[in-house]
Structure 1
Amino acid sequence: MSAETPVCQLLDRQDTHYHDWLWVAPPADDWLQHAGGQLMSADHSLLADWQARDRRAHSPFVDSPPAPPGVVLFWPKTHALGEWWLLWLCARLEPGTPLHVVGENQGGIKRVLKVLAALGLGCRKLDSARRCSLFASRLDRVALDPDDAWTRFEAEGLHLVSHPGVFGHGKLDEGTRLLLSRLDAGLPQGGSALDMGCGDGILAAWLARRGHSVTAVDVNGFAVESTRRTLAANDLPGDVFHGDVYSGLGQRCFDAIVSNPPFHQERAVDYGPAARLIEEAPRHLQPGGQLWLVANAFLPYPNLLERAFGTFEILADDRRFRVYRAVKR
């Protein structure tokens, strides 16, 4: 099987036998499963795909780490997230385990040289092609704790906990701020509410503080853990699930669905999750239930809302963001 992504194409031409190695935070590429490795990822969609094919797949927040013969870390576009993965691997896997780090040049892979040097880990360049680079090192114990990457800050009178790779890391997104200002006046208190794409948990915590019975979902395991920590930091109740849009919720229905949906997958624009959020929302709302969305003004959501609900309102438009509300009749 041929590799599809540039980083996997670079790995495919190596002499290294990657069977049973641990693929850490990789892209979706069937070549990885064909090569015989095992997965470590915080992405629910990727984990579910591997598990559906009876492949070994692990979450850093659920499973005990395996003891692989080697590790390939796919460097993410969020530099601080790549550093966290390095620290996590050094803290949890055996010292001396071979480590390969691969990534696209435009994604900052060349900065890995300085990161590894700062951690006292040796490094050498193995190969470069397809505008990607591959470096080799070995894991070892380092003085830094990966848990130090968790960030605490305050917004809207709430204590928020965030992590590199989570949307709006370390600050309140302006679109979310606009959404909250309209929710405060337009959404009745109480009832059941679903925070879809929960991020650091600001919406879930805000809703729970106002008496809603809250459920929160995110495809990103770091966001799920952030939301759980945010709710705990504010002594607020809520159920938080690792899932892809409505997967895992069954036939559950809510009085309100609230979201600041993503439209990027790494650097690519991807309307798929937001489209599913809107199109399937009526099936997960009680009669009279409301869908609240905030989105960049240029995004093509009005057509999706009209198709799913028949009608909708624009409650705010500051030329950057719009707040939409649609009601299930």
Structure 2
Amino acid sequence: MRSTRLSLALDSGAIALPETGQIAVLSPQAGDDLSALPKDRIVVVTGFKPDHDHFNARGFVCATAMPADCVAALVCLPRAKAGARALLAAACAALPSGAPVIVDGQKTDGVDSMLKDLRARVEVGEVVAKAHGRIFAFPAGAALSDWAAVPHAFDGFQTLPGVFSADGPDRGSEMLAAALPRKLPSRVVDLGAGWGYLSRRILQCDGVKELHLVEADLTALDCARQNITDPRAHFHWADATLWQVPHLAGAVVCNPPFHTGREADPALGLAFIRAASRMLAPDGTLWLVANRHLPYDPLLRTTFREVEDIGGDGVFRLVRAAHPNRRAGG
């Protein structure tokens, strides 16, 4: 869909690229087709590790921050409005005044609302509508400076726009934090650690000597570094479903994501459960919170010898799963 709109906009002249210089592509998703752009001029800018690895493996130059010498930017609009605004402000700040900032997004991700907001602030060029989305461009400048990312502080934590649950801990994490035992094993993994809410609770448990925070979103992980200053904490920017634990852990604590788009994707949470089982020692335990409607139980009972519900409510289920079954294949 992105490739169709981009090709149409470039071929029709609705959007024009500078003839030379680097073009930053901000926050594309794995599988996005960028072939309408000159590959030798593209810098893929993303802090989401699976997307970073996807484009890097396909020969694209990748970065986690926008280089200062780019002459244009394509912003692949994320769904979170505050995060999208911050991304557009960052693109404008990094580009020369007047350089094209191209915005591409699906209607379901709020592109119409963003277009309306931008028209009130900048001169938006021709809009191309195709494949349930829109693409358009505007000149970089200072008009969006007040959209720049501003840290949000609460209860001793700091977050940034665009990270999951940026306004405070989600209900599932709060429930899991309250359900953790007073004592945990010496080596613990917080799988999908986000900005560190569960990690702080884990470090308050007796017995913990080493905590590994594994998070794919670099912005969230950077927030966690600010929030968790305990020397027992080790930070890993990684795809949680692929990360290799240095030494088998006694416990994994996990509130796995279950969306890759607007619709729920149970496969993502299932991949987290498999990964957790591979990280655990033979007597290790997974502490998990998940939405009740997700079909995790068959895999949990195949992958672990002991599975028990330890609480929850009408929406969330708290699970303790112990003794991973190696013969199940993780």
TM-score of the pair, normalised by structure 1? 0.86
**Which residue, out of 204, 214, 223, partners 1:217?**
214
Compared with structure 1, are the counterparts of its residues 144 and 192 closer, same or farther at alpha carbon in structure 2 (3 Å cutoff)?
A: same
- Say which SS state the counterpart of residue 134 (structure 2) adopts: strand
1:290 equivalenced with 2:302 (yes/no): no
How many Å separate the matches in 2 of 1:271 and 1:92? 38
Instruction: Check whether the contact 1:151–1:163 (CA below 8 A) recurs between aligned residues.
Output: yes
Distance 1:247-1:87 versus aligned 2 partners, 3 A rule: same
For 2:267 and 2:137, locate their aligned partners in 1 and report how far apart those are by CA, in whole Å.
36
Query: How many Å separate the matches in 1 of 2:139 and 2:279?
Result: 48
1:237 Cα deviation from its structure 2 partner:
4.5
Q: CA deviation at 1:34?
A: 6.6
Where does structure 1 lack aligned partners over 5 or more consecutive residues? 1-5
**Partner SS for 1:203:** helix
Would you say 1:50 and 2:47 are equivalent positions? no
Give the distance between the partners of 1:312 and 1:279, measured in 2 at CA. Answer: 14
Aligned to 2:159: 162
1:27: how far off?
2.5
What is aligned with 2:118? 116
Most deviating of 247-256 and 126-135: 247-256
Is the Cα contact below 8 Å between 2:240 and 2:275 reproduced in 1? no
Q: Residues of 2 paired with 1:312 and 1:83: CA distance? A: 43
> Taking structure 2 as the reference length, what is the TM-score of the superposition?
0.86
Q: Write out per-residue CA displacement over residues 77-133 of structure 1, whole angstroms, 9 at most, x where no aligned residue.
A: 111111010111122232222111111123211222343355x43212331111211
Provide the residue aligned with 2:328 in structure 1.
none
Q: 1:200 to 1:239 in 2, by over 3 A?
A: same
Show structure 1 runs of 4+ deviating over 4 A.
16-20
Which residue of structure 2 aligns with residue 65 of structure 1? 67
- Distance between the aligned counterparts of 1:250 and 1:193, measured in 2? 10
The alignment status of 1:181 with 2:182, answered yes or no, reads no
Secondary structure, in 3 states, of the residue corresponding to 1:310? strand
Displacement of 1:17 in angstroms is 6.7
Partner of 1:82: 84
The equivalent of 1:99 in structure 2 is 101
Give the aligned residue type for 2:97: P
**Matched residue count:** 311
Unaligned runs of 5+ in 2: 325-330
The answer to whether the 8 Å contact 1:162/1:169 transfers is yes
Distance of aligned partners of 1:189 and 1:284 in 2 relative to their CA distance in 1, 3 Å threshold: closer
**Counterpart selection for 2:225 from 203, 225, 228:** 228
For the residues of structure 2 that align with 1:265 and 1:102, how far apart are their CA atoms?
A: 18
- For 1:258 and 1:28, the matched residues in 2 are separated by 27
Equivalence for 1:128? 129
User: Aligned with 1:313: secondary structure?
Assistant: strand
Alpha-carbon RMSD across the aligned residues, in angstroms, is: 2.3
What amino acid does structure 1 have at the position aligned with 2:239? D
In 2, are the aligned partners of 1:313 and 1:325 still within 8 Å (CA)?
A: yes
Q: Matched residues, percent identical?
A: 25
